[in-house]
Amino acid sequence: MLLTILLLALLAAAGGWWYVKSQGGQGDGRGASGRPGGPSAQPVSVGLVDRRDMRVLVSSIGTMNARATTVVRTRVSGELEKIFFKEGDEVRAGQLLAQIDARSYRAALQQAQGTLQRDQALLKNAQLDLRRYQELQAQNSIAGQQVDTQAALVRQYQGTVAADQAQVDAARLQLDYTRITAPIAGRLGLRQADLGNVLNPSDASGIVTITQVRPIDALFSVPESHVGAIARALAEKRALPVELWDREQKSLLATGRLNALDNAIDASTGTVRAKAAFDNADGRLFANQFVNVRLQIRLIEQALTVPATAVQNNHVYLLQADGQVTQRRLELGVTDGDRVSVTGDLQPGDRVVTDGLDRLREGSKVTVIDPGQAQAPAADRPRADKGRAR
């Protein structure tokens, strides 16, 4: 039994010696990755340092505001007889939208016209009598009082005819009001009345709402620290470009220009309200729509810039010719899109690491996973794909 135990111990020792020997055979100067020269190089993405114009932007949250909004209501009471629009349509000012039953208003107009014709006939007869009386008065064949009375009767009929004409005009206007037209150009909302409904001028919801959205305005707030610069630019008639972005700030919705500042600063927030105008030719903007606003205050020409993804705690990793990286401390300026203006020990054309920074230290050896990316012109170079680093 003791002999068996000794044999097992010898076999275990021999196996351990063989394993150590086989591993030691690989200690020929190769690293863990099998490459000569020590630790393996870290794969990274890089971007170029370059000079470009940088916009000084003020970001804010805003809402779209229609230039004009009106509720289309009837001006006369009556049954809604016809509808000539579709919900969501673009309409022009004066376009026919609906028709009220006009029979009673047409009858009222005809009645007023009949009264006018009757009184016009009476006036004409009175005028003829007055002319005859005046001729007889010239021959001393009639009393002057009778001529004066007839003259007064003529003037009375003239007043009656004038009143009748006003009644005709009013009746014709009421008849015209049975044709409901668009008071402004714009986009229609949802219909608030159906065929057969009896409409009244006092109806709060009306028939439909029109919003004028071409052009359209954006309302937003800017910090009071920028008010002076904005006011000077507006006074000098300089254009201040404004961009609108969607909620995720991934899609550019429209570009326009600043129109006006409010006349007072909100003391509770330290901001002032601003308004920018947009053509909205494609109709993508709606009233009360939420937008992210970027207002350009000024332009810094030919600033030294690096990709925003290259900056970490005011440092970048500069890729050197020997494939190692070294840290450079920077003073950061403005951010415009995916670029940041900087001041520091960098030169245009330098390559800085944009992805894989968390695995790097001073002097780390790196391998560029897409060398062509760093050679591309600055304007055409795509942003680094973080998902490619392994």
Please tell me whether residues 250 and 145 are part of one structural domain. Answer: no
**CATH number for 356:** 2.40.420.20
pLDDT of residue 29: 39
pLDDT of residue 252: 93
Residue-number span of the structural domain to which 139 is assigned: 68-199
pLDDT higher than threshold 80 for residue 282: yes
pLDDT of residue 142: 84
* Mean pLDDT for the chain overall: 85
Please tell me whether residues 242 and 256 are part of one structural domain. Answer: yes
Does some domain include residue 204? Answer: no
> What is the arithmetic mean of pLDDT over 98-121?
96
pLDDT higher than threshold 80 for residue 331: yes
**CATH number for 72:** 2.40.50.100
Of 378, 377, 359, 361, the C-alpha closest to 369 is: 359
pLDDT of residue 111: 96
- The fraction of the chain above a pLDDT of 90, given in percent, is 63
pLDDT of residue 5: 58
Structure-block tokens of residue 285? 């903007």
Please tell me whether residues 178 and 235 are part of one structural domain. Answer: no
Please tell me whether residues 311 and 294 are part of one structural domain. Answer: no
pLDDT of residue 34: 38
pLDDT of residue 27: 41
Please tell me whether residues 77 and 192 are part of one structural domain. Answer: yes
Please tell me whether residues 240 and 259 are part of one structural domain. Answer: yes
pTM of structure: 0.64
**CATH number for 281:** 2.40.30.170
180 and 188 Cβ atoms separated by less than 8 Å: no
pLDDT of residue 299: 87
Q: pLDDT grade, residue 12 (50/70/90)?
A: low
Among residues 199, 226, 244, the one where a domain terminates is 199
Among residues 269, 299, 329, the one where a domain terminates is 299
95 and 210 Cβ atoms separated by less than 8 Å: no
Partners of 352 in the beta sheet? 47, 318
Please tell me whether residues 295 and 319 are part of one structural domain. Answer: no
- The fraction of the chain above a pLDDT of 70, given in percent, is 85
Please tell me whether residues 139 and 160 are part of one structural domain. Answer: yes
Please tell me whether residues 345 and 316 are part of one structural domain. Answer: yes
pLDDT higher than threshold 90 for residue 357: no
Q: 56-65, 126-135, 367-376: which has the minimum mean pLDDT? A: 367-376
d(CA 121, CA 108): 20
Q: What type of residue is 154? A: V
> What is the arithmetic mean of pLDDT over 272-277?
95
213 and 283 Cβ atoms separated by less than 8 Å: yes
| Domain count within the chain | 3
d(CA 62, CA 296): 15
Q: Where are the beta strands (DSSP E) in the chain?
A: 42-48, 50-72, 78-83, 90-91, 96-100, 179-181, 186-188, 198-199, 208-223, 241-245, 252-261, 271-278, 290-307, 315-319, 325-336, 339-344, 351-355, 366-368
Please tell me whether residues 120 and 142 are part of one structural domain. Answer: yes
pLDDT higher than threshold 50 for residue 31: no
Please tell me whether residues 62 and 84 are part of one structural domain. Answer: no
Identify which has the larger pLDDT, 158 or 372. 158
pLDDT higher than threshold 50 for residue 80: yes
Structure-block tokens of residue 19? 């394993």
What is the tens place of the pLDDT at every residue in 212-249? 999 999 999 999 999 999 999 999 888 999 999 999 98
pLDDT of residue 363: 87
How many helical (H) and strand (E) elements, i.e. helices and strands, does the chain have? 5, 18
pLDDT higher than threshold 60 for residue 378: no
Among residues 299, 325, 341, the one where a domain terminates is 299
* Cβ neighbour number for residue 209 with a 10 Å cutoff: 19
Which long-range contacts does 130-139 make (Cβ < 8 Å, 24+ apart)? 130/154
Please tell me whether residues 82 and 192 are part of one structural domain. Answer: yes
Distance of CA 9 to the CA centre of its chain: 82
d(CA 235, CA 46): 44
Q: Give the three-class secondary structure for 124.
A: helix
Does some domain include residue 224? Answer: yes
C-alpha separations of 125 from 66, 141, 150 in Å: 60, 21, 11
> What is the arithmetic mean of pLDDT over 289-313?
92
What is the tens place of the pLDDT at every residue in 151-189? 999 999 999 999 999 999 999 999 999 999 999 999 999
Instruction: Look at the alpha carbons of 242, 382, 389, 322 in this order and tell me if their dihedral is positive or negative.
Output: negative
